[in-house]
Amino acid sequence: MKHKIAKSLYLIFLLFSAQLLLYFRASSKTNVDSLLGLTSEKQGKELASLYFEIGKFYNNNNISDSAFEYFFLAHVLAEETGDTITRCESANQLGLIYFYRKKFEKAIPYFIISEKLFKVKKNYKRSTRARIGIGNCYYGAGKPDTALQIYQSCIKDLYKQNDTLNLSGCFNNIARIYESRKEYEKAIEYHKKVLEIGRSGYDLPYLHPLISIGLIYCKKNEPAKALTAYREALSESISLHDSITIISIYIELASLYETNGSYNTALAMLDSALYFDKANKKTPVICQQKGNIYRKTGNNEKAITYYKNSIRTSHDNDYLVLENLKDIAEVLNELGNFREALEYFKKYHNTYDSVIMKENISRQKLDELAAVKEFNALVSKSEKTLTLVEKENQLKQAQINREKFFRNVSIAGASLILIIGILLFLILRYRFLRKKSEIENKLNMYMQKSLSQQMNPHFIFNTLNSIQYYINNNDKEASAKYLGIFSRLMRRTLDNSQNEFVKIKDELEAVNLYIELEKLRFGDKFEYIFNIENEDSIYDAEIPALILQPFIENAIWHGLLTLEKKGKLILHITQNNSKIKFSIEDNGIGRQKAQKLQENKNHISLGTKMIKSRIELYNEKRKDKILLNIIDKTDKEGNAEGTKIEILIPCISV
């Protein structure tokens, strides 16, 4: 009888509640309809204010799209009509909507407008809150450094305004930023500031900082300090009869003990959490955590039991159900119960599909939430395991065939690559040797040309004429001297031409003999000076043969002999690290005038041209290059004062 009366009273209560809900909904609809009806009657600032009120109505009823539409209309119209109050309020609301939609970049401009306009209206408290909104956006957008600067700029104003709620929020966010940077001491400092505000008597959830401090000590691997923080929070939450915080602390304590391998103590903490969870709000999470611990300790039967309890008490938490179904399937798969594991994988898949249909979320996001790829792999693995005995031989044979095929393909591919590599090497080697041979042949050719240039018939004829002249004049001493120098020059030139490189002293001997012959022929027409630094170290170094004489000959014949005054030829040799610098300088008529004289005589000088070609070939062949620089000397008026040849040659020491 009592049971029937209670049931009747319960039905009456439900009917009354339903009627009351319908009344309020009808009343709300009437209110918004009346506001919408007024839009045709209002204009200017009044219409902007009306749009804002309609936006507030939709926002309070969680109809964010309509709320956004009317807040936006209010903002635009307020800007046009100069309604600063409505504009800053609507900008703030637009910023909040974008913020909660996680469109932080779009929220920031509205919060900036709101901050500036509230400051103009001298509403500094609201201005500071808008600035905090900007900081929250930067924090949400993954720019913690900018967010930190903004939060710190708000602290002084929040203290002045005695805004403890937002001050506590700033401190909390600053602590989280420092925690993400692993600056744990600073993070703990700001969590303690939040705790201090809460303990000062303000109606704030001040025990949560203690839990955060405990978590930080866990990250720092200081379990004793973490345990102290959790116990302090637990003691205060019990004295305040704050069952929600008590449950959270027991869960965190369980995680701490689980991390340290104290599984029995962790299970005891979770049992305490279950005791305080009268409303079963955290029971699904607690059961799942107990299942995970039992799974770690190898008690798979109990693990499955608690996973099932988590599903049973999940209150339509699809994501938690998905995780538990996957865990049960994995445990059954590990136990070898493949058929039942497959059934749970299928349940997982069906629940997964229902989440897609219910929330219409994208495939990419769903992959993050439930790991479809992992599920498909596990299902495939379970199905293959069921038929493993029947298909084992086929799979082995197929595997052998695949391995044989890939091995053959790999061998063939490697052989082909090797053959191509050898062919390329041979081709490149052949080209290199051919080019090297061409360069050497050209060098030999130019060496022969240089030799023939130094021993050309014209030079020999002139020399023999000079000797004959001295003989006819019965000047035996001069003729003997001339003939001796000439024979030594021929011998030295022939000796030097046998080698690609000669010692500097041998090259200078040939040059000196050549100049002596020219001096005997032309008398005091010119003088010459050899200036050699570090003779002992330079003389034994080697340079390309027959490289200096053509430049000396050019200086004498085309620079000095046509000069009206006495000519001067200077050969200066210096060593700079592994290179030797030869400087051949004369005070002759200069290259331009000499070239005109040669053109009038139809004479073409080939000596220096061949030397330049030899230098180019030498530079192609070797890493260290020969550098040639020809300088035309002039006076202040630009008149020619001679020529200077600079040759920088890498030397080979012997």
Q: Tally the C-alpha atoms within 13 A of residue 509's C-alpha that lie toward its C-beta.
A: 20
Q: Look up residue 456 and give its DSSP letter.
A: -
Query: So what's the pLDDT on residue 173?
Result: 92
CB 175 within 8 Å of CB 139? no
Residue 108 is predicted with a pLDDT of 93
DSSP 652: B
Going from the first residue of the chain to its last (654 residues), give the mean pLDDT of each consecutive group of 10, the final group possibly shorter.
44 44 44 62 80 86 86 88 88 90 91 90 90 92 92 90 87 90 89 81 62 83 82 77 81 84 86 81 88 90 89 82 89 88 86 70 45 46 48 66 81 86 82 66 54 53 67 74 84 80 87 86 85 82 84 85 86 86 90 77 60 79 85 86 90 60
CA-to-CA distance for 346 and 266, rounded, in angstroms?
32
Burial annotation 488-519 (CB, 10 A radius, 16+ → b, else e): bbbebbeebbeeeebbbebbbbbbbbbbbbbb
C-alpha neighbours within 13 Å on the C-beta side of residue 399:
6
In 3D space, the residue among 571, 576, 504 whose CA is nearest the CA of residue 542 turns out to be 504
Q: pLDDT at position 570, please?
A: 93
Q: What are the respective helix, strand and coil percentages of the chain, to the nearest 5?
A: 75, 10, 15
Q: What is the pLDDT of residue 16?
A: 43
pLDDT of 1: 45
Confirm if 268 and 258 have CB atoms less than 8 A apart.
no
- Measured distance CA(130)–CA(124) in Å, rounded: 10
| Packing angle of the helix pair 184-199, 164-180 (nearest 10 deg) | 160
pTM above 0.85, yes or no: no
pLDDT score at 154: 92
How big is the CA angle at 336 (ends 333 and 342), to the nearest 5 degrees? 45
CA distances from 113 to 92, 141, 345, 518, 523 (A): 8, 19, 52, 96, 99
pLDDT the model gives residue 460: 67
- Kindly list the distances between the CA atom of residue 535 and the CA atoms of 504, 505, 531, 574, 586, in Å, as whole numbers in the listed order: 10, 9, 10, 9, 22
Structure tokens at 625: 């290059």
State the pLDDT at residue 606: 58
3-state secondary structure 280-340: CCCHHHHHHHHHHHHHHCCCHHHHHHHHHHHHHCCCCCHHHHHHHHHHHHHHHHHHCCHHH
The answer to whether 50 and 42 have CB atoms below 8 angstroms apart is yes
Consecutive H or E run containing 60: helix 44-60
Residue 613, H or E segment: helix 607-621
